[in-house]
Structure 1
Amino acid sequence: MHTALLPVPLAPEISLHLAEGGTGLFDATGGEFRSDTPPPFWAFVWAGGQALARYVLDHPETVAGKHVLDVASGSGVAAIAAARAGAASVEAVDLDPAAARATGRNAAANGVTVRARAADLTEAGPADVILAGDVFYTRSVADHMTAALRRAAASGSSILVGDPGRGYFPERLFVRRAEYTVPVPAALEDAETLVTAVWEMRVTR
C-alpha cells in the first residue's frame, strides 16, 4: 500500500507513514478480507491510538522513566508518543509482522527508539505501563485482551486503553481519565470524528 509521511490529526507532533486520501482498509486486498493477508491496519491511525498518544503527550508523568508496552500497536502512534514523553524504554507488539515493521519505520521518522516485534501481549515481558488502543472490536479479541490485561494489572502494570465506544469494551473494569473528539478517515469509520475516551483499568486482585 502506498503511504505518505503525514501528521497525526490529534497529535500533530507525531508524523506517520499513512494511507492517503480516501483509501479504505481493504483497498490493498482487492476489497475483500483474506485470512492469509491481514488488512493493513498499520497504514491508518485509529481513534483509540490517537487518544492514547494525545493523553500520554499531555501527561508525560504517566510514562516518564518507565518501561512501556504498546499492545496491538498498528502504526505505533501510542508507542512513539510514550518515547517522546520520556519513557525509559518502549516496546511495541502486534500480531502482524507488517505492523511491527511499520512501527519501526515510524519511530525512526520521529527520531525515537521503539523495539517493535510481531507478538501477542501474552508473549511480551513485564511492563510498568501497557497501552492498548482499539483492541475491543470483536467478542473473541475483546475476551482475550481483557483476560490478558487483567493479569497484567494484577501483576502491577498500569493499563491505559483508548476506545471510541466499540461494542465489546468492558467499561465496568475501567475508570475514564480523558475524552477527545478525534478526527478519523471517513473511509474507515463512516464519520469524520469519533468521541474517544482514555480509560485506566481498575486493579482487582
Structure 2
Amino acid sequence: MMKRASQPQPDPAAFIKANLPISPVASIPEILLHQAGPASGLWRLAGRGDADPAPYWAYPWAGGAVLARHLLDRPETVAGRHVLDLGAGSGLVAIAAAKAGAAMVTAVDIDANAITAIGLNAEINGVNIAAIAADIIDGPPPVLDLLLVGDLFYHPALALRVMAFLRRCRAAGIEVLIGDPERAYLPQRELRRIATHAVADFGMGTGGGAVQAGVFSLSATAGEAAKREGPAAAA
C-alpha cells in the first residue's frame, strides 16, 4: 500500500493574511487584529500532536480584552514604562500598551504562530513590539516595570506556575496587572480588583457575547512572601 504524502506546512504569515481577516476587536474598536472565523481552517496551520499549543492566539479572550480596554482608558498606567505581555497570544494587550504610550513593549508566547501573528497585528496598528517565542515562567523575573497577564488562569497546573512567577516578579519590584473574567483557577484571595469592564469573550460558551471581566493587581504582600520564602515560593 502506498503511503499518503503528508501535507506541507503552510507559511504562517501567508496563511494568517489569507485566512484570518482583519477586523476591529469587539469592545476595543481602536485595535484591529487578524481574527479566526469558522472557515479559517486553523487545523492546517496548528500542529496536531499532544505537545503542540492550541491556537489561542487566533481569538480575542476576555482577560486580554479587559486589560487592553483598561490600558487605553487609563494610559498613565503604562506611559513611559517598559512593559511585558505574558502569554501574549494575538498581541492585543501589547498593542494596547504601545498605543497608550509605553516606552518599550515585549510580548512573550510559547507558540511560534502567535509570534508571527503579533508581528502582523503590530504592523496593522502601527506600533513596535518585540515578540519572543519562549516559556519564561519558571525563570527569574525579567527587567521591566510592568507585567501584564491576560487570561492565563484557565488550567490548574498552568495557574500554579504562573502565580509562582508573578510572586517572584512582585518581590523584585515589578508591578503586576491581571485581566480575567474570573475563570476557575484565578487566585482572587491574592488579588485586588481595580476595574471591571464588559467585554466580549470567545470562551465560556458565550459565542463572543459580553461578560464582566476584571483587572486585578497582585498585592505587594504576595511578593514580600515570595521574597521571604525564597525557592519554596516557586514550587
Q: TM-score, normalised by structure 1?
A: 0.91
Which of structures 1 and 2 has the bigger CA Rg?
Answer: 2
Other-structure match for 2:43: 29
Other-structure match for 2:192: 175
Alpha-carbon offset, residue 125 of structure 1: 2.5
Other-structure match for 1:130: 147
Q: Output the CA distance in 2 between the equivalents of 1:102 and 1:83.
A: 16
1:98 aligns with 2:110: no
Q: Output the CA distance in 2 between the equivalents of 1:133 and 1:102.
A: 17
Q: Output the CA distance in 1 between the equivalents of 2:175 and 2:39.
A: 35
Q: TM-score, normalised by structure 2?
A: 0.80
Query: Which aligned segments of 4 or more residues in structure 1 are displaced greater than 4 angstroms?
Result: none
Other-structure match for 1:57: 72
Q: Percent of aligned pairs with the same residue?
A: 43
* CA contact 1:33–1:39 (8 Å) conserved in 2: no
Q: Output the CA distance in 2 between the equivalents of 1:189 and 1:109.
A: 28
Q: Output the CA distance in 2 between the equivalents of 1:88 and 1:116.
A: 15
Q: Output the CA distance in 2 between the equivalents of 1:126 and 1:145.
A: 17
Other-structure match for 2:20: 3
Structure 1: unaligned runs, 5 residues or longer: none
Q: Output the CA distance in 2 between the equivalents of 1:67 and 1:120.
A: 19
Other structure's SS at 2:177 match: strand
RMSD: 2.0
Q: How many residues align?
A: 200
Alpha-carbon offset, residue 189 of structure 1: 3.0
Other structure's SS at 1:121 match: coil
Alpha-carbon offset, residue 33 of structure 1: 6.7
* CA contact 2:89–2:109 (8 Å) conserved in 1: yes
Other structure's SS at 1:45 match: coil
Other structure's SS at 1:194 match: strand
Other structure's SS at 1:161 match: strand
Other-structure match for 2:210: 193
Q: Output the CA distance in 2 between the equivalents of 1:41 and 1:7.
A: 18
Alpha-carbon offset, residue 23 of structure 1: 6.1
Q: 1:76 aligns with which of 88, 91, 111?
A: 91
Structure 2 counterpart of 1:105, one-letter code? L
Other-structure match for 2:182: 165
* CA contact 2:109–2:133 (8 Å) conserved in 1: yes
Other structure's SS at 1:125 match: coil
Q: Output the CA distance in 2 between the equivalents of 1:131 and 1:47.
A: 14
Q: Output the CA distance in 1 between the equivalents of 2:90 and 2:53.
A: 14
Q: Output the CA distance in 1 between the equivalents of 2:105 and 2:181.
A: 24
Q: Deviations over 1:30-53 (max 9, x none)?
A: 8x9742432211110111000000
Structure 2 counterpart of 1:69, one-letter code? L
* CA contact 1:80–1:107 (8 Å) conserved in 2: yes
Alpha-carbon offset, residue 182 of structure 1: 1.2
Other-structure match for 2:129: 114
Structure 1 pair 36–121 and aligned structure 2 pair: CA distance change class (3 A)? closer
Alpha-carbon offset, residue 193 of structure 1: 1.9
